[in-house]
Structures are given as structure tokens and as C-alpha cells.
Chains A and B, each alone.
Chain A
Amino acid sequence: MISDTLTEPTTRTADLKVVPARHYARWAAAVAVIVLVAQFTHGLATNPVWEWHVFRAYIFSETIVQAVWVTLQLTAYATVLGFLIGTVIAFMRLSRSPVLQTVAWTYIWIFRSIPMIVQLVFWFNLSALYEELGVGIPFGPVFWSVDSNSLIGTIGAAVIGLTLHQAAYAAEIVRGGVIAVDHGQLEAAAALGIPRLRQIRRIVLPQAMRAILPTAGNEIIGLLKGTSVVYVMSIGELFYQVQVIYGRNGRVIPLLLVATAWYVVLTSLLSIAQYYVERHFARGANRTPPPTPLQRVRRFVESQRLLATRQLTEKT
């Protein structure tokens, strides 16, 4: 007979056995998903359309590796410059000067409104806009000038385009981070007489980083893949080169796979970097920081080993 009360005189609490709940639906779903994944993986490996031998031939080929390098350079320049300019624009928008505020707001408004590809083509045709660039007195005489196309090559135009686009988004991300910092922090810094720039660099930005990093990570990963649109300017980055090669040999699918593999690898590396940078800026946020995945794995292995040795000693 089953009893459902603890007050049943014949049973003691200590003797009651705990039976975990049985999640039949969950198990069924898991099995179904595993079957689908297995099917897909099997297809990837066996379907001749993927042409894995072509993939292998090109993945580390010189052209592709060089193209990856160009992609990385475009990403790095646009990230660094974009966030530098973006930070300045963010603080302009946060400043008390209505002129700076308006200029910053307008910049963000314009560059968020223009599709990146349209902007890139604009810069590509820079010489049509400004034939010569010079240094002189505003609205006055020019002392020194240079032909704009010779000053800014195609790559330069791409970097400018990506940077200006990125700066508008970065400005909003940085501003979001700064306004997320508790107002009391600024008051405390002001009350201590800490110089203004130092307040921003030492007190505000490190704390703002916690809110900035997750979205900035998104943006940088988006940018890495976004660099593929500069193929319209015939710059030899990853996607452009892949197109050139499959235009020549017609192996579209395996070469798209080559590009995909590189984008996945680069994105993964960025994600890992983001994890550790976020961790760095989280110092002081928790009483005890959570272990890194590596530490977690190491701890797990150690506990397993301990368990194994204990069982061994128990047996003997």
C-alpha cells in the first residue's frame, strides 16, 4: 500500500526514497533532435555536392589566407578608429554644450540613415566629390593640397567608410554604457576633486565597459562579417576572393564553405576574447568571480580523478 502522508506511523522520514520526476516529453524531444542533427551531419560528410576535397585544397591556400588577412585588417582598423571616434561623439552628445550635442546627434542620425554599401560607394567615388584635399584657412587660401585618389587608395576609402559607419553605432553604445554608470560615482569623483579627464578615463569608462562590452562584441562581430560588402569596391578581402575563385572554376558551394569556415573561426576567436575582456572589467562586481570555462573543466577533471582514486582505494 502507498501512503501519502509523512505522519504515517509505520514509516520514518529517513526511510523515504526520493524518486526524481520523469520527463518523458523532454526525452522524446531530445531523441528527435539528435536524429535530425545526425542526419544533417551525415549529409554534410557524405553528400558529394559539398566537394570536401575542393574545400581542403583552398582553405589554407595563399590567396585565401591573404584575403583573410585583409578582412582582419579592415575589421581591426574600423573597430579601433570607429570606437575612438565613437567615444568622442558619445561624450559630445553628453556634453553641456548645445553645439556639440547637436553636431553629435546629427552625425549619428546621418550615418545611421545611410546604408553602409551606399556610403562605401560614395567614398569609392570620393574624387568625384572632392577632387583635391588641402590644408588651409577655412573658406580662405589653401597652402597645400593633394589629389584625393592618390591620398586615399581603395582600401583607405573602405576603412573610412567602415569607420564612419561604425563610429555612429559605437557612439550610441558608449553613450549607453556611460549613462548606465551610477550618478553617485561621478559625484564622488567630483567631490574628491579628481580632474575631469581622469574622472572619465579612470572612474566612468571602466565601469561603463561592463554595459558597453556585450553590445560592442555584437558590433565587432557584425563588422567582421560586414566587411564582406566591400567586395563592391573590388578589395581582395575574403568574400571577394572566394567569388573570384568560384567565378573561375565554378565550384561555388565548397568555396562558400571556405569563406564560412573562416568567418566562423574568426567569430569564435572574437567571442572568446570578448569573454575574457568582459571578465577583466567585471572585477569588483562580484564577491567571488565565477570560474572560467577552462578552470571549470580542470576542476571537473580533478574531481573525477579524486572520485576514481577513492573508488579504487575502497575496492582494494
Chain B
Amino acid sequence: MNDVMVDVHGVHKSFGPLAVLRGVDLRVRAGEVTVILGPSGSGKSTLLRTINHLEKVDRGWISIDGELIGYRRSGDKLHELKERDVLKQRTHIGFVFQNFNLFPHLTVLENLVEAPVSALRRPRGEADETARRLLARVGLADRADAYPRQLSGGQQQRVAIARALALEPKVLLFDEPTSALDPELVGEVLDVIKDLARTGTTMIVVTHEIGFAREVADTVVFMDDGVVVEHGPPTAVLDAPQHARTRAFLSKVL
């Protein structure tokens, strides 16, 4: 499995005068887990959001499984895609938010079947079946008819992961999936992500959980000030960081 699944190439992004991404390159191979670490404000969440085109890039490009995201190339021009086509591309990219963002007025099951039915035009019965299977996989088979607010934070995030999986995405993006959770609930969510890692799901995880990075990541990327400072296997980046900024960050969080 050496084919590149996610290819981020020279991505720049500014919010007004603030340059958040200043030329980011990143490659993720199929079946690999990449963990992005970095101080807050380093641009890691923004990078993740550019990968599924929730944020438009100012310069550079991103492709997933060889397909440009948000643009169509003809000759040496990039044509911006219409929203409908971007939405279609996003069904291949699962995204898990820090604040879960489950739909509070829909039951857990309805949360899971909404996108497969409306975006992929799956028959409802089939979508229901997939949803129940996924709920069982994240250990919530008995909560299918509950509303999100009736669940704990950890359970909500597990539902959110199942919801992302329901589209059978090529890659899963996690934006600080445990940062909004009480400490005792972090473990159950990380266990689900670890389980996904074992089954060969391609994932990019932005997190502050260094222990999780060490255990699960194939590659650790350290970002600071809008650029990738260093990247490599966890043992290299976490135990023998080459860069002073990486060392400074790790000394604060470890």
C-alpha cells in the first residue's frame, strides 16, 4: 500500500491579514494514520478543513485518491467547482468535529442515514442496516432511537464517527475529536479510532493526545506558524525531535 491517498501541495491560506497556512506539503498513504500536532494557532485545524474544502485555499492544491478537491484542472488552469460538485466530493471525505455537530433534532439513527440517503441516494432500508451495523461497531447499538442530547459527550462523538463512516469515505479527518470531552470519556473515543486504525482506514487526526499519537500514528506531523516543521515516524518526531520548536512544544505537553 504505497499509493498516495491524500496529497497536499504548497497550500497557502490567509484570513484577512493573518496568514494561517504558509506553504504546507503533506502526503498520506492509503491505510495510514497521520497525526498532526502543534500549538494552538499553528494552522492544523485550518489545514484539515482545507482538505475537505470547508476552507478554500488561496494557493496550492489538494487531491484525494488522485482527484483534485474543489477544482477541475484543464491545461494549466484550475476551475473552481460548483457547490454541488464539491458536496459530491465531500461524500468521500469523512469529517469528525471537535464539537460533534450531531443534528440535535434527529435521532441517532436518523443522523446516520441522512447523508447516505440524501447525498448517495441509498435506499432507506439499506442505509438503516448499515447504520445499525456501524452503531454496533462503536458500541451504541442500543441507542439508535435516542436523541443526541440524551447521550454523554463520549457517546455523541462515537455517533459522529459512525455518521462519518456511513458514507464509506476514502479518508477520515478528525479535528481534535477528544478536546471537548471530560477526561474520563476520552478513552472510549480513542479506542474507536484505534480500532479503525487497525482495520486500515486512512486517517488524519489533529489532536493533543501525545500518547495516542505514539501508539497509533504511522506518521507524526508537527506544525507551527503555518508550516510543517518536521514529520516522520512517532519514535523519531516524539523521542528525537530535530527542531528546536518541536522540542519546545513537546517539553510543554509531555
Contact = CB atoms under 8 A, between A and B. Distances in A.
Contacts of B147: 283-284
Main secondary structure on chain A at its contact with chain B?
Answer: helix
Interface in B6-45: none
A191 B49 CA distance: 9
Contacts of A191: 52, 54, 90, 93, 95, 97
Interface in A271-295: 281, 283-287
Interface in B89-104: 89-91, 93, 95, 97, 99, 101-104
A198 B118 contact: yes
A283 B145 CA distance: 12
Contacts of A203: 103, 114
A286 B90 contact: no
Given A187-B101, A284-B147, A284-B149, A192 B90 contact: yes
Classify chain B: how many residues form its interface, as a range.
Answer: 20 to 34
A184 B88 contact: no
Given A193-B90, A281-B105, A284-B148, A202 B118 contact: yes
A196 interface: yes
Interface in A192-251: 192-196, 198, 202-203, 206-207
B179 interface: no
B99 A184 contact: yes
Nearest to B92: A193
B104 A190 contact: no
Nearest to A283: B105
Interface string B103-117: 111110000001100
Contacts of B54: 187, 190-191
B233 to A, nearest CB: 29
Contact of A193 (B91, B149, B150): B91
A35 interface: no
B101 A188 contact: yes
A190 B84 CA distance: 10
Interface in B37-88: 52, 54, 83-84, 87-88
A39 interface: no
B162 interface: no
B118 A284 contact: no
Contacts of B114: 192, 194, 202-203
A192 B115 contact: yes
Nearest to B147: A284
B87 A190 contact: yes
A182 to B, nearest CB: 8
A195 B91 CA distance: 11
Interface in B139-161: 147-150
B236 interface: no
A192 B54 CA distance: 11
A46 interface: no
B97 A287 contact: no
Contacts of B91: 192-193
A290 to B, nearest CB: 14
Contact of B149 (A185, A187, A189, A287): A287
B220 interface: no
A236 to B, nearest CB: 42
A166 to B, nearest CB: 26
A194 B167 CA distance: 11
B136 interface: no
Contact of A188 (B103, B107, B167): B103
B132 interface: no
A195 B104 contact: no
Pick the most buried of A185, A281, A284: most chain B CB atoms within 10 A of its CB: A284
Contacts of A202: 114, 118
Given A284-B147, A284-B148, A286-B149, A193 B103 contact: no
Contacts of A190: 54, 87, 90
A182 B164 CA distance: 19
B163 interface: yes
B174 to A, nearest CB: 12
Given A187-B97, A281-B105, A283-B105, A195 B87 contact: yes
B160 to A, nearest CB: 8
Given A195-B119, A198-B118, A202-B118, A207 B90 contact: no
B118 A194 contact: yes
A196 B84 contact: yes
A283 B147 CA distance: 8
Given A195-B84, A196-B87, 6 more contacts: A187-B97, A195-B87, A203-B114, A284-B104, A284-B105, A287-B149
24 contacts: A182-B101, A184-B97, A184-B101, A187-B97, A188-B97, A188-B101, A189-B103, A190-B90, A192-B95, A192-B119, A193-B89, A193-B115, A193-B167, A194-B118, A195-B87, A203-B103, A203-B114, A281-B105, A284-B104, A284-B106, A284-B147, A284-B148, A285-B105, A286-B149
Interface of B: 52, 54, 83-84, 87-91, 93, 95, 97, 99, 101-107, 114-115, 118-119, 147-150, 163-164, 167
